[in-house]
Amino acid sequence: MNDIPAKSEKLRLHIPPHRPQPGGHADFSYIHESAAGKVKRPEVDVPSVKTHPLATRLVRVLDDDGKAVGDWDPRLDPETLRQGLRAMMLTRAYDSRMYRAQRTGKTSFYMTSTGEEAVSVAQAMALRPDDMLFATYRQQGLLIARGYPILDLMCQVYSNAHDPLKGRQLPVLYSSREYSYYTLSGNLGTQLPQAVGWAMASAYSGDTRIAAGWIGEGATAEADFHHALTFAAVYRAPVVLNVVNNQWAISSHQEVAGGDEATFAARAIGFGLACLRVDGNDFLAVYAATKWAADRARANHGATLIEHFTYRAGSHSTSDDPTRYRPKDDPQNWPLGDPVERLTNHLIKLGEWSEERHAAQEKELTQLVRDTDREARSYGTLDEGPHFPIESLFEDVYKEMPWHLRRQLKALEGGQ
């Protein structure tokens, strides 16, 4: 006699429902944010298990009135805040310009980071300029905050004769050794174990630089994410691992990646890594969380997984139309607001900014981007050229061009 029943009910396969309906209205009732200032800030050297309760909370500093509250407030001076605001506004102005450039056929493709500027800009500012960044395609704000020339970004997007990457990469897949920004991949997630490897190398070499890696919530399903967490934990790599949960992976809502079952920050728990979950549209909270994780890594306490809870206000890329898979009024109703507006309000509350200065800066940056774009286009665009010369097609495949590539180049030049 055993207790295994001979009959039981039929099994049912659960397919996550696509809740946000294109014809309907925004519904963010699934979000339960913590109030600003409520989450306590642990010391950076606590055992990782002490951070695990934070996986289901949300670190927030800016309250609804634009005041900075609680012990996560990084207490940045107004000049630093204004710098951050400027970099976020420049990122937005740049995005808007390049989005239009693609729409008018000047390049093949573009991806905006609208609504997610705090994640990249505040993080770049909380890290040292020579910490190595392994980003995704939606962290252009990292480069902009580090002062990378807008002109070079544009030339890359136009794949023109001044493109630092010789016209080889899809627009927005930047690379800059000088700015400690690793070459971007179009294959999602691959950069995360690379960030861990770089951090291991830095530790191996007795360096003081750390690495930071980014991944979207959708791509956390890739093996690379789990590889990165395993290696980061096993070797206590000095790395900050960031999941940018912008709710959307093209048309798939975050529950398709398993977001309904547990938060993305909670993925760290099984690996024994420290974790934080932060309001990604709160510049101060993102800055404070990043600084905490960076300080922890730099002090040889290992890696932290940070989930940045944010919202992709625009389309995935210039190739999709969000109104086909989510309500039209979704972006305006995101309960955690807009990162630029929230930092602006905070600065105004502090008496360190004004509507007039804001309008003037907006105008100035729009003009700057327009003028830079004019110069970038003078070096060529994807549709009209000029591009890099034909031999560049065969260069850099290997350090030295092997005979078979020399032969193929000769054949191409000879019109074969």
Partner 1 sequence: MTAMSMVQALNSAMDVMLGRDPKVLIFGEDVGFYGGVFRVTEGLQKKHGERRVFDAPIAEGAMLGAAVGMGAYGLRPIVEIQFADYIYPATDQLVSEAARIRYRSAGEFCAPITVRAPCGGGIFGGQTHSQSVEAIFTHVCGLKTVMPSNPYDAKGLLISAIEDDDPVVFFEPKRLYNGPFDGHPDRPARPWSGHPQAEVPDGYYTVPLGQAAVVRPGSAVTVLAYGTMVHVALAAVEEAGADAEVIDLRSLLPLDLETIVASVKKTGRCVIAHEATRTCGYGAELSALVQEECFYHLEAPIERVTGFDTPYPHALEWAYFPGPQRVAAGIRRVLEA
Verify binding: residue 142, partner 1, rule CB under 8 A.
no
Task: Measure the CA–CA gap between 146 and 213, rounded to whole angstroms.
Answer: 16
CA-nearest of 217, 170, 172, 209 to 192 is 217
Which is closer to partner 1, CB of 234 or CB of 262?
Answer: 234
Cβ proximity of 281 and 337 under 8 Å: yes
What single-letter amino acid sits at 308? H
* CA-based nearest residue to 247, from 333, 318, 187: 333
Among residues 44 and 221, whose Cβ is nearest to partner 1? 221
12 vs 177, which CB is nearer to partner 1?
177
CB of 323 to partner 1, least distance (A): 32
* Closer residue to partner 1 in complex, CB, 69/201: 201
Q: Is 132 in the site for partner 1 (CB under 8 A)?
A: yes
Q: Which of 190, 251, 252, 366 binds partner 1 (CB under 8 A)?
A: 190
User: Are the CB atoms for 328 and 62 separated by under 8 Å?
Assistant: no
Does position 227 bind partner 1 by CB under 8 A? yes
Measured distance CA(307)–CA(31) in Å, rounded: 14
What is the number of helices (H) and of strands (E) in the chain? 10, 7
43 vs 207, which CB is nearer to partner 1?
A: 207
Q: How far apart are CA 389 and CA 248, in angstroms?
A: 39
The answer to whether residues 155 and 143 touch, using CB atoms and an 8 Å cutoff, is no
Figure out which of the listed residues 74, 84, 171, 197 binds partner 1, where binding follows CB under 8 A.
197
Is 195 near partner 1 (CB under 8 A)? yes
Q: Does 134 bind partner 1 (CB under 8 A)?
A: yes
Q: CA end-to-end span of the chain, whole Å? A: 80
Least distance in angstroms from the C-beta of 161 to partner 1: 13
Question: Which residue, 336 or 376, has its beta carbon nearer to partner 1?
Answer: 376
385 lines the binding site for partner 1 (CB under 8 A):
no
Q: Binding of partner 1 at residue 165 (CB under 8 A)? A: yes
**Could you give the count of Cα atoms lying within 13 Å of 187 in the half-sphere of its Cβ?**
9
Report the nearest approach of partner 1 to the CB of residue 116 (Å).
Answer: 24
Q: Is 74 in the site for partner 1 (CB under 8 A)?
A: no
Of 204, 367, 370, 384, the one binding partner 1 (CB under 8 A) is 204
Residue in 58, 89, 192, 212 binding partner 1, rule: CB under 8 A: 192
Q: Secondary structure of the chain: what % helix, strand, coil (to 5)? A: 40, 10, 50
- Closest separation in Å from C-beta 113 to partner 1: 21
Find the angle CA(94)-CA(188)-CA(217) to the nearest 5 degrees: 80
Rounded Cα gap, residues 287 and 297, in angstroms: 15
Q: Which residue, 190 or 366, is less far from partner 1 as judged by CB? A: 190
Helix (H) or strand (E) holding 252, with range, is strand 252-253
Output 8 or 205, the one with its CB closest to partner 1: 205
Residue type, 174: Y
- Contacts with partner 1 by CB under 8 A lie at 132, 134, 164-166, 168-169, 173, 175-177, 182-183, 185, 187, 190, 192-202, 204-205, 211, 223-224, 227-228, 230-231, 234, 395-399, 402-404
